């Protein structure tokens, strides 16, 4: 077996108990988004849905996605974050590319949306003053 860095690992058959096949049929690209407790969960989930729709329509990545994004919603509350989860059903071995691109697009879209909301609030405060 060869790892991501190119190192070859030899595993004797006598120690193999479970084998996971990532290249058969389809895969799920599972994406977790950790948000600080002060962040707006509804806004984040809205942006997650928008990015999922955008990714599905992408001419390069869209054909690698079998079904629309499934939103699981709040998956976990840990000590530092609210964890939101979604997933895509994708072609075999595409789960990692889809995940990386989704995370990049989510980060950019969420930052932009927060900046727009902050500007709207500031304009409303100036108007009220």
Please report, for the domain that includes residue 61, its CATH number. 3.30.70.100
Average pLDDT, the chain: 90
Is residue 61, in this structure, part of any structural domain at all? yes
- Dihedral of alpha carbons 109, 22, 28, 30, sign: negative
Residue 3 exposure: Cα atoms within 13 Å on the Cβ side: 6
Q: Distance between CA 31 and CA 10 in Å, rounded?
A: 31
On whether residue 117 sits in a domain, the answer given is yes
Q: Range of 71's domain?
A: 26-128
For the stretch 32-56, pLDDT in tens is: 999 999 999 999 999 999 999 999 9
56 falls within a domain: yes
Total domain count, the chain:
1
Instruction: Write down the pTM of the prediction.
Output: 0.82
Rg of the chain over all Cα atoms, to the nearest angstrom? 19
- Per-residue pLDDT tens digits for 63-120: 999 999 999 999 999 999 999 999 999 999 999 999 999 999 999 999 999 888 888 8
Task: Tell me whether residue 64 is in a domain.
Answer: yes
In a domain, 17, yes or no: no
Residue 29: beta bridge partners? 88
Q: Could you tell me if 65 and 90 are in contact, meaning their C-beta atoms sit under 8 angstroms apart? A: yes
Task: Confirm whether 34 is domain-assigned.
Answer: yes
């Amino acid at each position: 077996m060869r790892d991501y860095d190119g190192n070859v690992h030899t595993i004797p058959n006598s120690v193999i108990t479970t084998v996971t096949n990532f290249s058969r049929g389809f895969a799920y690209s599972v994406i977790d988004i950790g948000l600080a407790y002060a962040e707006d969960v509804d806004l984040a989930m809205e942006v997650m849905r928008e990015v999922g729709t955008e990714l599905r329509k992408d001419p390069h990545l869209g054909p690698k996605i079998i079904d629309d994004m499934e939103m699981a919603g709040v998956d976990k509350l840990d000590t530092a974050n609210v964890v939101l989860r979604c997933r895509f059903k994708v072609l075999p071995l595409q789960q990692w590319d889809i995940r990386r691109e989704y995370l990049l697009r989510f980060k950019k879209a969420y930052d932009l949306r927060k900046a727009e909301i902050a500007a709207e609030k500031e304009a409303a405060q100036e108007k009220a003053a």
